A and B are shown apart, each in its own frame.
Chain A
Amino acid sequence: MEALFALVVGVLTASGIYLLLRGRTFPVIVGLALLGYAVNLFLFSTGGLNTHAAAVIGESITPTDPLPQALVLTAIVIGFSMTAFVVILAIRARSDLGSDHVDGQQGEDGDAPR
């Protein structure tokens, strides 16, 4: 089970990194989201992979480690706000520079502003 979990995290990381290295803003945003999933899963897994062991007192005999969960919970919300910021930055960059290339190259792809 652990090997499978690690494999999934690895695939998510690899796909995220590949997208992150693309030249257009949209794939970079998607890549960031994917990388975010990978990082969250990695952090979460540091508490161990336990089934039926929610960290609620009185629900389970051996509750799992609650600390990584608390960290990941805020990480998810922060991740959303960062994604939102990058999305809006991308829109703004396209509107100001006329291109959605990450280096801000001017309209080389022919979809220049009207």
Chain B
Amino acid sequence: MSLLWIPLLTIASIFVPVMTSRHGRKACVTATLIAPLLALGLVLLHAPAVLGGDVVSLRIPWMPLLGLDLALRIDGLTLLFSLLILGIGSLILLYAGFYLSAEEDDGRFLAYMMLFMTAMLGIAMADNLILLWLFWELTSISSFLLIGFWGHRSDARRGARMALTVTGAGGLALLAGILLIGQAVGSFAMGDVLAAGDLIRASEHYPLIVALVLLGAFTKSAQFPFHFWLPHAMAAPTPVSAFLHSATMVKAGVLLMARLNPALGDTALWAVSLSLVGLATMLYAAWFALLERDLKGILAFSTVSHLGLITLLLGLGSPLAIVAAIFHILNHATFKAALFMMVGIIDHETGTRDIDRLGALWSMMPLTGTMTILAGSAMAGFPPFNGFLSKELLFEQSLINNLLGALSIVIPLLVVVAAMLSVAYSLRLIWSLFFAEPKLTREQKALPPMKVHDPSRGMLAPGLFLAAMSLLVGLFPMTLAAPLLHAASLAVQGETTPVVSLALWHGLNLPLLMSVAAVAGGVLVLRQQRRLASIAALFPERNAGLIFEALVQRLIKVTLWLTLRLENGSLQRYQALLILSALAMAAIGLTQLESLTGERGQQPLDGMLFLGAGLMVFGAIGSALSHRWRLVSLLMLSVTGLSVSLTFVRFSAPDLALTQLSVEVASMILMILALFFLPQRPPLLVSGRRILRDLILATSLGLVVAMLNYALLTRETLTIADYFLRESVPGGGGTNVVNVILVDFRGFDTLGEITVLTLAGLATFKLLNRLRLFMPSGNIEGIRWSRHRHPLILSVVAQILLPLALLVSVYIFLRGHNQPGGGFIAGLITATALILQYMARGHDWTRERLPISYPIVAVSGLAVALATGLGSWLFGYPFLTSAFGHFHLPVVGEFELATAMLFDVGVYLAVVGAVLMILINLGRVTTVNRPTLEER
């Protein structure tokens, strides 16, 4: 369980800086540091077991149906990365406390850093691919916040956006790859996936999986040609670059490749793509690092180059190459973080990052200089630093590669060239900053010389510590690094892991000669740096940022154009488009059928059917044709509605017939009320072309729907009816199967439906609030409304009918479980009966005698239904499980009670409440604002 505490601690510490920042910088940084240090301690608790080759893991089911578990693991690779993330992370937090100027919002900055730290730790610890992906995306988002921390600067905003777009898009590709892996393996658990390498490699999607996963890894680790975002991300505050762009985030890509190596690796496709991309990145970026003038730019390109080196090593794929890759991840993080901190210090002290304006700083900043010499030598790969060891391993492994057949010898040659460039830019950094005179222009020379000094100890210590580490690891690799490397390599390659023996002196061999050549060549290149730069200046400058920005702008233009074409604000246009696409899809469906009439054929016709069909056709076409005479149109609609109800009677659906009938009554009242508020005779302002278009659309869709329906009706269909018919009595305790489905089998659906009904009712409340009304005082011919508001006969009849109607609705409700009826129908009958009272006597009269709040009725109905559902939890059953039993009462006799009945009460109340809420509300508006007598 202690595994869970590690991410929980970092999550908790996201909130610490925000809460403590008002107590001053020192308190804020100290408080923030507690959680990562504790987490580091927890990780180290597991270190002995993990170094012994164990894997500590924890699995809590989260969404089992999706294959997503909260699964964490600590193996060798995780241990190594946790040390980087939490260890270097803590050092950088300390450094950031000194780096940020006093007025900057340190709370927000440190909170973002902790968010990022959590996400990165999640990637390292995830034992489930989907979980890993979630954390992966979280690093993209938190790095966006960090790069754009100085949001007032446009380069920060642009750099942040670019980083998010590139890594986010890569993340989506990765998700697709992960889903394909899950499909091939049948599980997303890391252990299952890593063990199923053969299955994945044999899968037909293997090339696609590799392409998608590598797209994710390459974008994250800034591999060519996706490297361009990293130099632009240098707009971030330097602690961010030191953390994200040296030690952690950019390492996520190589971490993923190392992690998935057992599952995806060991094929020519994997090896060749990794090594060629890695090699190209390594060379390309090293060249630009040599030419760059911005200090952070130099480090950014050198990071890209070193990531290429790691990718190349992973591609070479031999057991020792993989060990070397892991080793270089560790080494690069150590020296590069120190170098970034150095740049931050120089920027902080001198106010510039231009390498040409800086120089001869050694006498003024000896400690910073020492740090740079140590870390820079490690970057160049000089003995006895850690960079030398991993570079020697690279030389050695590149010599024994056999990736490109006879062409394989190219790889070690190009590696030496890249190493040469690496030596050159590392030396340039040390030499130009601390020993050479600055190359100033005449105006700059006129300025007073810089007076700078080493910063405070707190700012220096983290960098010095890391720089010293790169020397110590180089001197004592077997003590300091080998056990960790062995454990990490065990996690990546299992039994094939080689015996790791690291030493500075391996005797006089080819790799050593390559090193000597690289150093000599590097010095030579550096001497010619000016000349090389002037040659490079001959090429047209290509700013990746501008190209990217132009692409984004063009994309925005295209989408804007498309949006304006589709979304012109006209409902009629939208509907026409929707109907057109529905038409196309339905028509395509029809072309798949061999013949329209299916094997079942038709049943005979009779006169009643003709009559009913004729009525419906007459009503439908009539209401369409007479739509400008609105009352007529409404009457025609009701003819169709009642005929639909009769159709249900004819075809064995008594429940539907009853529902349709009562809904028909309620909706007719509603629409007549609506008619009162809407213009009675709209003007004819429609072109003939528009009418023709609509006619064509309507008839073609009608035709296609009719054909579909006919094709469906004449075919045998598969049905699950047998289940419901069989289980209705034993499982649901009722003989009316339709009602049992509604309140029992599919009770959850019904609960959703009455919720919608209630919501619609409540929404009308809001919509009718503060309404300005159009109230005609007479009809369209100028005849005034009748003065007899409440006709006597209607009032009397309504009063007599009310108890009878309520009795009927109770009867319908009670028999609902076994005979046609139930909550829906009973509710509608009750509502209709009550509406009749309002119509006969007016709102105020009825209100006095029936002081009921309908919203409360509706909501309590919902509550009853929900409580019935929840009640089954009390007895340990799933939501909405029903129970029923038979009871005996002396006079009544044997009868049956079911919890489904209680649920139906909820349905009944919700229907009554919602229908009355809608109608009474609208009706009340008319009574309140009736024109007064004087107006008439």
Given A90-B678, A109-B682, the answer on whether A23 and B572 have CB atoms closer than 8 Å is yes
Q: How many residues of B contact A (CB 8 A)?
A: 110
Judge whether B820 and A54 touch: CB under 8 Å. yes
Closest to B625 in A: A15
C-alpha gap A55/B674 in the complex (Å): 37
Given A8-B613, A17-B702, A55-B737, the answer on whether A40 and B644 have CB atoms closer than 8 Å is yes
Q: Does B729 make an interface contact (CB < 8 A)?
A: yes
C-alpha gap A68/B670 in the complex (Å): 27
Judge whether B736 and A34 touch: CB under 8 Å. no
Judge whether A77 and B713 touch: CB under 8 Å. no
Q: Please tell me which one of the listed residues B652, B697, B772 contacts residue A96 in the complex, with CB atoms under 8 A apart.
A: B772
Q: Please tell me which one of the listed residues A46, A50, A73 contacts residue B652 in the complex, with CB atoms under 8 A apart.
A: A50
Given A80-B667, A91-B677, A113-B774, the answer on whether A51 and B624 have CB atoms closer than 8 Å is no
Q: Which residues of A contact B659 (CB under 8 A)?
A: 73, 76-77
Q: Please tell me which one of the listed residues A3, A56, A72, A100 contacts residue B656 in the complex, with CB atoms under 8 A apart.
A: A72
Q: Does B771 make an interface contact (CB < 8 A)?
A: yes
C-alpha gap A77/B694 in the complex (Å): 29
Judge whether B698 and A100 touch: CB under 8 Å. no
**Stretch of B132-140, B266-274, B387-395, B603-611 that contacts chain A:** B603-611
Q: Please tell me which one of the listed residues B609, B686, B737, B774 contacts residue A1 in the complex, with CB atoms under 8 A apart.
A: B609
Interface 1/0s, chain A 20-51, versus B by CB < 8 A? 11111111011101100110111011111111
Q: Does B410 make an interface contact (CB < 8 A)?
A: no
Given A23-B572, A66-B725, A80-B663, the answer on whether A44 and B648 have CB atoms closer than 8 Å is yes
Q: Scan residues 559-614 of chain B and give those whose CB is less than 8 A from a CB of chain A.
A: 569-572, 575-576, 579, 602-605, 609-610, 613
Given A44-B656, A55-B652, the answer on whether A74 and B572 have CB atoms closer than 8 Å is no
Tell me the smallest distance from the CB of A50 to a CB of chain B, in Å.
5
Judge whether B613 and A6 touch: CB under 8 Å. no
Closest to A99 in B: B679
Interface 1/0s, chain A 67-83, versus B by CB < 8 A? 10110111011111111
Judge whether A42 and B922 touch: CB under 8 Å. no
Question: In this complex, which of B738, B764, B774 has the most chain A Cβ atoms within 10 angstroms of its Cβ?
Answer: B738
C-alpha gap A85/B69 in the complex (Å): 42
Judge whether B640 and A37 touch: CB under 8 Å. yes
Q: Please tell me which one of the listed residues A12, A16, A66 contacts residue B738 in the complex, with CB atoms under 8 A apart.
A: A66
Given A73-B824, A87-B670, A102-B571, the answer on whether A10 and B706 have CB atoms closer than 8 Å is yes
Chain B: interface secondary structure?
helix
Interface 1/0s, chain B 634-657, versus A by CB < 8 A? 100100110010011011111110
**Stretch of B183-191, B279-287, B754-762 that contacts chain A:** B754-762
C-alpha gap A30/B637 in the complex (Å): 7
Tell me the smallest distance from the CB of A88 to a CB of chain B, in Å.
5
Tell me the smallest distance from the CB of B752 to a CB of chain A, in Å.
9
Q: Please tell me which one of the listed residues B605, B617, B682, B767 contacts residue A89 in the complex, with CB atoms under 8 A apart.
A: B767
Q: Please tell me which one of the listed residues A15, A58, A60, A110 contacts residue B620 in the complex, with CB atoms under 8 A apart.
A: A15
Judge whether B620 and A12 touch: CB under 8 Å. yes
C-alpha gap A1/B647 in the complex (Å): 12
Q: Please tell me which one of the listed residues A2, A11, A13, A46 contacts residue B602 in the complex, with CB atoms under 8 A apart.
A: A2
Judge whether A6 and B728 touch: CB under 8 Å. no
Judge whether A33 and B620 touch: CB under 8 Å. no
Judge whether B721 and A47 touch: CB under 8 Å. yes
Q: Which residues of A contact B774 (CB under 8 A)?
A: 94-95, 111, 113-114
C-alpha gap A109/B683 in the complex (Å): 6
Q: Which residues of B contact A26 (CB under 8 A)?
A: 627, 630, 633, 674-675, 678, 682
Tell me the smallest distance from the CB of B655 to a CB of chain A, in Å.
6
Tell me the smallest distance from the CB of A55 to a CB of chain B, in Å.
4
Q: Does B208 make an interface contact (CB < 8 A)?
A: no
Judge whether A34 and B651 touch: CB under 8 Å. no
Given A56-B737, A77-B911, A92-B768, the answer on whether A38 and B670 have CB atoms closer than 8 Å is no
Q: Which residues of A contact B721 (CB under 8 A)?
A: 47, 63-67
Judge whether B725 and A74 touch: CB under 8 Å. no
Given A3-B710, A37-B640, the answer on whether A76 and B764 have CB atoms closer than 8 Å is no
Closest to B768 in A: A88
Judge whether B694 and A21 touch: CB under 8 Å. yes
Q: Which residues of B contact A30 (CB under 8 A)?
A: 623, 627, 633-634, 637, 671
Q: Which range holds the interface residue count of chain A?
A: 35 or more
Judge whether A41 and B756 touch: CB under 8 Å. no
Q: Does B543 make an interface contact (CB < 8 A)?
A: no
Tell me the smallest distance from the CB of B139 to a CB of chain A, in Å.
44
Q: Does B819 make an interface contact (CB < 8 A)?
A: yes
Q: Which residues of A contact B630 (CB under 8 A)?
A: 26
Q: Which residues of B contact A15 (CB under 8 A)?
A: 620-621, 623-624, 698, 702
Given A6-B710, A10-B703, A56-B820, the answer on whether A34 and B640 have CB atoms closer than 8 Å is yes
Q: Does B914 make an interface contact (CB < 8 A)?
A: yes
Q: Which residues of A contact B686 (CB under 8 A)?
A: 23
**Stretch of B157-165, B548-556, B741-749 that contacts chain A:** B741-749
Tell me the smallest distance from the CB of A95 to a CB of chain B, in Å.
5
Q: Does B735 make an interface contact (CB < 8 A)?
A: yes
C-alpha gap A6/B710 in the complex (Å): 5
Given A13-B705, A14-B698, A87-B674, the answer on whether A52 and B627 have CB atoms closer than 8 Å is no
Judge whether A33 and B724 touch: CB under 8 Å. no
Tell me the smallest distance from the CB of A38 to a CB of chain B, in Å.
7
Judge whether B712 and A46 touch: CB under 8 Å. yes
C-alpha gap A77/B918 in the complex (Å): 13
Judge whether B616 and A8 touch: CB under 8 Å. yes
Q: Which residues of A contact B605 (CB under 8 A)?
A: 1, 4
Tell me the smallest distance from the CB of A13 to a CB of chain B, in Å.
4
C-alpha gap A76/B654 in the complex (Å): 14
Judge whether A19 and B824 touch: CB under 8 Å. no
Judge whether B603 and A1 touch: CB under 8 Å. yes
Judge whether A11 and B621 touch: CB under 8 Å. yes
C-alpha gap A110/B756 in the complex (Å): 37
C-alpha gap A92/B922 in the complex (Å): 11
Q: Please tell me which one of the listed residues B571, B667, B737 contacts residue A57 in the complex, with CB atoms under 8 A apart.
A: B737
Judge whether A13 and B713 touch: CB under 8 Å. no
C-alpha gap A60/B199 in the complex (Å): 55
C-alpha gap A60/B820 in the complex (Å): 14
Q: Does B709 make an interface contact (CB < 8 A)?
A: yes
Q: Which residues of B contact A21 (CB under 8 A)?
A: 572, 575-576, 579, 694, 697-698
Q: Which residues of A contact B738 (CB under 8 A)?
A: 55, 66, 69-70, 73
Q: Which residues of A contact B653 (CB under 8 A)?
A: 44, 54, 64, 69, 72
Judge whether A58 and B633 touch: CB under 8 Å. no
Q: Does B701 make an interface contact (CB < 8 A)?
A: yes
Judge whether A34 and B623 touch: CB under 8 Å. yes
Q: Which residues of B contact A65 (CB under 8 A)?
A: 719, 721
Q: Which residues of B contact A22 (CB under 8 A)?
A: 627, 694
Judge whether B741 and A85 touch: CB under 8 Å. no
Judge whether B602 and A1 touch: CB under 8 Å. yes
Judge whether A2 and B710 touch: CB under 8 Å. yes
Tell me the smallest distance from the CB of A102 to a CB of chain B, in Å.
4
Closest to A7 in B: B706
Closest to A89 in B: B767
Question: In this complex, which of A16, A26, A103, A111 has the most chain B Cβ atoms within 10 angstroms of its Cβ?
Answer: A26
Given A4-B610, A73-B655, A77-B663, the answer on whether A85 and B763 have CB atoms closer than 8 Å is yes
Q: Does B318 make an interface contact (CB < 8 A)?
A: no
C-alpha gap A95/B770 in the complex (Å): 10
Closest to A70 in B: B741
Interface 1/0s, chain B 712-730, versus A by CB < 8 A? 1110010111001100110
Judge whether A94 and B677 touch: CB under 8 Å. yes
Judge whether A18 and B710 touch: CB under 8 Å. no
User: 8 A-B residue contacts at CB 8 Å?
Assistant: A13-B702, A30-B634, A45-B713, A57-B729, A67-B719, A74-B824, A90-B678, A94-B679
Knowing that A56-B818, A69-B656 touch, tell me 13 more A-B residue pairs with CB under 8 angstroms.
A14-B702, A17-B701, A30-B637, A42-B709, A49-B651, A54-B652, A65-B719, A67-B720, A73-B656, A79-B663, A84-B761, A94-B774, A114-B774
Closest 6 CB pairs of A and B: A10-B706, A14-B702, A6-B710, A81-B760, A18-B698, A66-B737
